[in-house]
Structure 1
Amino acid sequence: MRVVAGERKGMPLKAVTGTTTRPTTDKVKESIFNIIGPFFDGGIALDLFAGSGGLGIECLSRGAEKAIFVEKDGRAYQTLQENIKKCRYEEVTELFKTDATRAVKGLLKREIQIDYLFVDPPYRKTEYYNLVLTLAEAGKLAEDAIIVCESSDEFKLLESYGSFSLSRQEAYGGTIISIYRKLI
């Protein structure tokens, strides 16, 4: 695993040992960012189920101003911390070692607008996709926010979450990447 593009291009990232997490491959990560706009001019990223942090770190490398990472697994959280330190992103990140539902409840209490939302829960935990709707209904997603959901091809995601509709879907083996935007 590595940072694919931007200011930290080529920086190797440590993967989480064991089978508790499923990292997004470099190929899929590159495809995601080619679709959502390869580079950004600021904005806040929220990487729920962050694992080793590959998506949020990639977002920072490509120009996001801040990233919030949520990861409850102890080994994954430790790897996430190491990757953020290695990339020298400590000053522009927030890390939460907690369940995604609890983290979202905390975010609902803050004055925040999320520009890039990455949701990649364990494939059998489909109830976690409801957190997208929770954030959308609470007005925590920016008007032009981009939502990226990674899921198993065995599960069909909704066509919309609040006013954010499915704009593109790509299959990579048994993985489906679904991208949602507000239709204007």
Structure 2
Amino acid sequence: MPRVISGSAGGIHLSSVRGLETRPTADRVKEALFSMLMSRWPPQGFLDLYAGTGQIGLEAASRGADPVVLVEKNRDGCRVIRENIEKTHLSASVCLLQRPVGPALDALRREGRSFSLIFADPPYREALQTLSRLAGPLADLLTPDGRLILEHDAVTASPANVTYLQLERCCQYGTAMLSFYQKMATAHAAGVV
């Protein structure tokens, strides 16, 4: 059962989505992720894509990130995320968008939103195709010094460069890989801010 590790909601166990092919991020991976992000804390906005139970975004909010936007298209997943937001008492800093990621990114871009940290955990078998398809909109939403973190299967190699995003580093945890991307300097020159 996923839980919030640290911060104002630390120790609270989160509800899970039953019967769906969700794959909550393991505590070990989550702890390592947030340890690596501490030098960038608190972020200027945190975006959690393919949020599942909401555990990554809620962990960020529990540790002081504000605003936190969670994107999940599955109705049952969104029901569980709402329960978890209520359970953790983080509704003041967390917003849930119930829609597919592509249209959600378009809406956030139209609103002029930006995020210094974007976490994406698409289905493992689709992770790199998803990155290729959404790299442009993701780069648009990143602040100039922001980072995109992609969780994917460790078997699949991360591309070094993808439409305005450059691979900074990869960290493997068992079968999971965290790939950190930064916005390329050419993105700034091309007007992708």
**Equivalence for 1:62:** 63
Shift of 1:118: 0.5
Contact 2:135 2:164 in 1 (8 A): no
TM superposition outliers: structure 1 runs of 4+ over 6 Å: none
- Quickly say closer, same or farther: Cα 1:42–1:121, change in 2 above 3 A: closer
Matched, 1:128 2:130: yes
Partners of 2:60 and 2:34 in 1: how far apart? 8
Structure 2: how far apart are the matches of 1:95 and 1:3? 17
Root-mean-square deviation over aligned CA pairs = 1.9
Letter in 1 for 2:168: S
Distance in 2, matches of 1:94 and 1:155, equals 32
Kindly provide the amino acid, as one letter, of the partner of residue 135 in structure 1. L
Deviation at 1:100, TM superposition (A): 0.7
**Residue aligning to 1:112:** 113
The verdict on how the C-alpha distance between 1:108 and 1:31 changes in structure 2, with shifts beyond 3 A counting, is same
Q: Is the 8 A contact 1:6 1:39 kept in 2?
A: no
- Identity percentage over the alignment? 31
More helix by share: 2
Which whole-Å deviations, capped at 9, do the CAs of 1:111-156 have from their partners, x for residues lacking one? 11111101110112232213233221x3x21122121100112322
The answer on whether the counterparts of 1:39 and 1:63 sit within 8 Å (CA) in structure 2 is no
Does 2:85 match 1:92?
Answer: no
Does residue 51 (structure 1) correspond to residue 58 (structure 2)? The answer is: no
Pick which of 125-134 and 95-104 moved more: 125-134
Instruction: Tell me what 1:27 maps to.
Output: 28
Q: CA deviation at 1:3?
A: 1.0
